[in-house]
Amino acid sequence: MAATVILEPRVRNCWDEPMRIVVRGLAQAQPVTLRLSLQDEKGALFRAHARYYADSGGELDLERAPALGGSFVGLEPMGLFWALESEKPWLQLVKRDVRTPFAVELEVLEGHEPEPQRVLGRAVHQRVFMRPGVRREQVRADRLRATLFLPPGMGPFPGVIDLSGSGGGLCEYRASLLSGHGFAVLALAYFRFEDLPEYLNDMQLEYFEEAVNFMLQHPKVKGPNIGLLGFSKGGDLCLSMASFLKGITATVLINSCVANTITPLHYKDMTIPSLGTELGKHIITESGLIDCIDIWDNPLEEPNCQSLIPLEKAQGPFLFIVGKDDHNWKSELYAHIASERLQAHGKDRPQIICYPGAGHCIDPPYFPARLASIHAVSGQAVFFGGEPQPHSRAQVDAWQQIKTFFHKHLDGKKSVKHSKI
C-alpha cells in the first residue's frame, strides 16, 4: 500500500514557522510510525519518530492525531522537529550557514514495531533560515566582526544587536530568522572568531559601543535608538551596554545574569569585576553531565555586589525571558533582583516571563530542545535543564514575545500578545 504524504507548505518554509503534516491513503485505523531525519552540515544525523493510528477514513493529520509513543507522546504537530536527537550523545543541532536550508526527510513506516522497516510513503522538505528578500551582509568595519541581516524592502528598519553566549563564534541563525519579521539585525561576534580573542579575557565595552554606532549610522536602520537581544553571557553584556551606552531603548535577556560574569568588563576608566565562582560546587548528574547552577556566588553579598550591573542607568524597558528549570544559573532569581533594583531607583518594573519546565537554552521555535550538549569552549558535556515538551512550547511563545516587544518599543506597534504559558 502506498501512502501520500502532504506537507503544507509543500516544498519549503522558514524554520520558525510551523508545518502541517498529513498522510492519506492508509487503511482504517492502520498503525504507522512517522520518522523525521535531518543531516547537519558536518554530516551528523538527527532523527525523531512517533507512533500513530490513522483515522476511520485512512487519514493521519498530526494536528488532530496524538502520538502514542516514540520520541514523544500527545498532540504535538511539530514534535518530530523539536524531538530530533543526534546519533552521537549530547550533539547540538547548529545551523552554520544560514544561506542554505536544512533538508528534512519524512518517512511513513508500516506498523509500530521497535524498528519498522517497510516504507509506505516519503517526502522531503526544505527548512530555510532566510525568508525571500532578506539580505545578508558581512561586517568587517574596524574591529567589528559581525553579520547584518536586512529585511526585504527599502527601509529603514528597526535595528537589533544579537549576542550569543559563552560558546563564542559568530552565531547567525537567530538573527537571520528575526530579520524575516521586519528587523535589521546585527549578529555580533565578540570572541573565538577570526582575529578576535580566542578566549573570554578582559572585555572592552568600547567594542560593543562601535557596534551600536555602526547600527545607528547605517542608512537602513531606523533611529534614533536600537534594541538588544542577548542570551546567557551575551545577556549580561547587553545589560552593560544598555546601562552605559547611548542609543539603546529596548533590551531582551534570555536566561541572563544580573551581574557581570566570567571576565572583568572595562569601559573608559571603569571596571566591573566578574562575579565569583566556586567550581568545586558543580554537580555531576547520573548521566555524567556537569550541572553548574550552584557554582556562582550570590551577587547581593559583599564583595560580589561590585559585579552587579547598574541597569538603573538604562533608558529603555527590559524583557527577561526565564526558564524556571535553568541549570546554568539562577535566571529567575537574577530577573527578580533586576526588577527590585530598577524599582528601588524609581524605574518601571521590567517585563518578566517565566516558563515552567524550560531550561537554559531557549532557542527560536522548533529547534530540538537543547537540554544538554558539549560546550563549545570547555569541550565538556553540560546539563542545561528543562523537559522536552514544556521547553519546546516555551521556545514558541518566547519567540512571539520577543517580536512583540521589539515591534512595540522600536517600531511603534502597540499590539501586545500576552504569554499563553
Only one residue has cell 524498528, namely 115
From the list 293, 186, 275, the residue with the least C-alpha distance to 230 is 186
CB 358 within 8 A of CB 352: no
Q: Measured between alpha carbons, how far is 19 from 57 in angstroms, rounded to an integer? A: 22
Phi/psi at 376 (5° precision)? -65, -30
Only one residue has cell 524599582, namely 343
Calculate helix-pair angle for 205-217, 233-244, nearest 10 degrees. Answer: 70
Using DSSP bridges, classify how beta strands 157-163 and 184-188 pair: parallel, antiparallel or unpaired. parallel
Distances from the Cα of 92 to the Cαs of 40, 84, 267, 368, in angstroms? 10, 10, 34, 8
Q: Measured between alpha carbons, how far is 14 from 63 in angstroms, rounded to an integer? A: 19
What are the residues facing 122 on neighbouring strands? 107
Q: Measured between alpha carbons, how far is 8 from 6 in angstroms, rounded to an integer? A: 7
Q: Measured between alpha carbons, how far is 373 from 304 in angstroms, rounded to an integer? A: 29
Q: Measured between alpha carbons, how far is 152 from 108 in angstroms, rounded to an integer? A: 37
Phi/psi at 340 (5° precision)? -65, -40
Q: Measured between alpha carbons, how far is 103 from 124 in angstroms, rounded to an integer? A: 7
Length of the chain: 421
Alpha carbon of residue 395 to chain centroid = 7
H or E stretch at 36: strand 31-39
H or E stretch at 176: helix 173-179
Q: Measured between alpha carbons, how far is 290 from 384 in angstroms, rounded to an integer? A: 9
Q: Which residues are catalytic?
A: 232, 326, 360
CB 127 within 8 A of CB 104: yes
Q: Measured between alpha carbons, how far is 261 from 300 in angstroms, rounded to an integer? A: 14
Helices H / strands E in the chain, number of each: 6, 24
